[in-house]
Structure 1
Amino acid sequence: MNLEDEFAQYRGELVAHCYRMLGSLHDAEDAVQETYLRAWKGFAAFEGRSSVKTWLYRIATNVCLNALQHSSRRVVPSALGAPGNDPYDLEAQALEISWLEPFPDLLDPALVVGNRQSLRLAMVAALQHLPPRQRAVLILRDVLAWQAAEVAELLDTTSAAVNSSLQRARAELARLAPAEEHLSEPDEPVRRALLDQYAVAFERADLVTLEGLLTEDTRWEMPPIPTWFSGRPDVMRLLEARLPRGEGRRIMVETSANGAPAFAFYVRGDDGFFHAHSLQTLTVTKAGISAVLAFHKPSLFTAFGLPLSRAGGE
């Protein structure tokens, strides 16, 4: 295997690693590009004391840490304040805020299956609350299973300091990680039926069915809109106010993000075509749909291999 092929085989997992660190697919891809540039330039000095894979992870981690010196953490609306309760009083899109982004499973499906828990949106959102170096320690130790000595060498510190940082990171993550991360999903036939019912009900604006699919403590967030809603009554008021009645006005196209079900939501325009509106990621539990994170950023559709517009018959 030549060097170029050896580098290329690790691209998917490096993007996932940088995504956990940065909370943004776009930033992660930029970080991996910078990693490869540094690797090509520095390969002559590579002494082979570790594998090429480990060496690339070292470079990528440092690239991410450097990037985090000049950027704010990625967030979701619920991290910014209390929920709203008036669907007619939504805050304007806050484009100046660094919002968390979803990770398209199509980049490397096998990788996502093997690392599903660490790529969950709720988990990545929680990681963003950790200081950058503490975040790196936790990911390297608990996700990549590096030894403390390896992490200490990368971060130019001691194994004792790494272990201490890891304990603090685990404690903070346990506090931040939402409860649904520890709830089991329904069996596949039940899960499949629930998703099918949800898609059809949303397309038809069938509020009765939607209400029955949501859990009592469900949450609805819509970055870059800071306003979010918590609890089935308030979420239903939002849907009733913002989801126009009638069939043939919306299309839901199933996809997958962060190892979880997702839907691309299209709305019919005056030209008769359906145009990208938002990308909905769902948290599905045995009790129903406990959270919807609807990214109102049509440009995300491209990363998921989805068109920005489609004819009604597609």
Structure 2
Amino acid sequence: MPEIGTEFDAATAPFRRELAVHCYRMLGSVHDAEEVLQETLTKAWQARERFDASRASLRTWLYRIATNACLTALEGKARRPLPAGLGAASDDPHSSLVPDFETPWLQPLPDRYLPPDPSVRAAERDGVRLALVAAMQLLPARQRAVLLLRDVLAFRAAEVAAQLDTSTASVNSALQRARATLASVREESVLEPDDPAVRATVERYVRAFEAADVPTLVSLLTEDVVLEMPPVPLWYSGRADYGAFITRVFDMRGTGWRMRVTSANGQPALAAYCPSPSGVLQLHTLQVLTVTAHGIAHNVVFQDPAVFAAFGLEPTEPTEPTC
């Protein structure tokens, strides 16, 4: 690579991770975010001679390119929802589990995209929580961009106006509307994943699931727990239906599951491996948990090869328990 390319790589390297996260929040897909990030860097390289450090910092300039690339990518495309964003909860835990592959479902974010510094990492977790990213998908694309640039990334209104080629008044108006839309989407008492209480709850959940102990598993849930499982468009609310559905899963798939603890969107997550007829434990789902002071309040269960690939999950698991 020419010397100037090396200098460009060195100058933009500190911003690539955060730009990828920004694109993920905008697009709801890790794969799409990586594609737009590469497009952003290519456009920045091509326009490098027009960059004026007296008018904007390199970071601000890169965010302008990335945000507008995301807005272009979103044109004419359906938003990426979770099942709970499409209709009422099912009241039948025995409903047919027909996947919907036409809907572009929201995807989780591997925690490798969060900063390695523990203090910075903790500060960024709130901005990537799965419920918040799902709620952001409800916003029109430009409102989503304004909300992220102003409230998450803390750019000034004038900077955002310049990034989006609009007026400060328009930015403030869009921000007000976006905040109003998201006002009701606030998770209560969400605990950090490294909190000892969270670790204990997750460990108990893993042991109960591996033992097919549904009563204990249900005891770890909040009363109004939500269970979602894209690409199946069904979702359930409440301990009773959650427990009945998990009982059905064991009836269909058998017992002897193994769970591997990981993380996604700054939250605890579990890679679930179920027994095959040959006895090999095969990757079945990635479960992203929301743990509150009152128990597990939300479990989004992903069964998507693209998600598995993004998380680097092995297709099979050794038969020994993980905890």
- Partner-residue secondary structure (3-state), 2:291: strand
Offset at 1:247?
Answer: 8.8
- What whole-Å deviation, never above 9, does each CA across 1:199-255 have from its counterpart, x for those lacking one? 111111111110110111111000000011111111111111112499972110001
Which ranges of structure 2 fall in alignment gaps of 5 or more residues?
A: 1-5
Indicate whether 1:82 and 2:88 are aligned. Answer: yes
Aligned to 2:31: 26
What stretches of structure 1 of length at least 5 have no aligned partner?
Answer: none
Equivalent in the alignment of 1:311? 318
1:3 equivalent in alignment to 2:12: no
Answer whether contact 1:223 1:295 (CA < 8 A) is retained.
Answer: yes
Aligned residues: 311
Q: Quick one: structure 1 residues 149 and 109, their matched pair in 2 at CA, closer, same or farther if it must change by over 3 Å?
A: closer
C-alpha distance 299-67 of structure 1, shift in aligned 2 (>3 A): closer
Aligned to 1:225: 232
Classify 1:109/1:312 alpha carbon distance in 2 versus 1 (closer, same or farther; 3 Å).
farther
Q: Cα RMSD (Å) of the superposition?
A: 2.0
**Partner residue of 1:152 out of 161, 179, 200:** 161
Larger deviation, residues 46-55 vs 202-211: 46-55
Q: Which residue number in structure 2 is paired with residue 272 of structure 1?
A: 279
Quickly say closer, same or farther: Cα 1:245–1:193, change in 2 above 3 A: farther
Structure 1 position 112, deviation (Å)? 4.3
Alpha-carbon contact 1:65-1:133 (below 8 Å) kept: yes
1:148–1:159 CA contact under 8 A, matched in 2: yes
In structure 1, how many angstroms separate the alpha carbons of the residues matched to 2:222 and 2:72?
41
Cα displacement (A) at 1:299: 3.4
Aligned to 1:38: 43
Residues 181-260 of structure 1 correspond to what in structure 2 (within 5 A)? 181-185=187-191, 188-244=195-251, 249-260=256-267
- SS of the aligned residue for 1:115 comes to helix
User: 1:211–1:248: structure 2 CA closer, same or farther, 3 Å change rule?
Assistant: closer
In structure 2, C-alpha distance between the alignment counterparts of 1:273 and 1:86, rounded to whole Å: 31
Q: Which moved more, 1:134-143 or 1:84-93?
A: 84-93
After superposition, give the CA deviation of every residue in 1:99-152 in whole Å (9 maximum; x if it has no partner): 110001023343643211110000001111111111111100011111111111
1:184 is displaced (CA, Å) by: 4.1
The residue matched to 2:183 in structure 1 has which SS? Answer: helix
Q: Distance in 1 between matches of 2:13 and 2:315?
A: 29
Counterpart amino acid of 1:153?
A
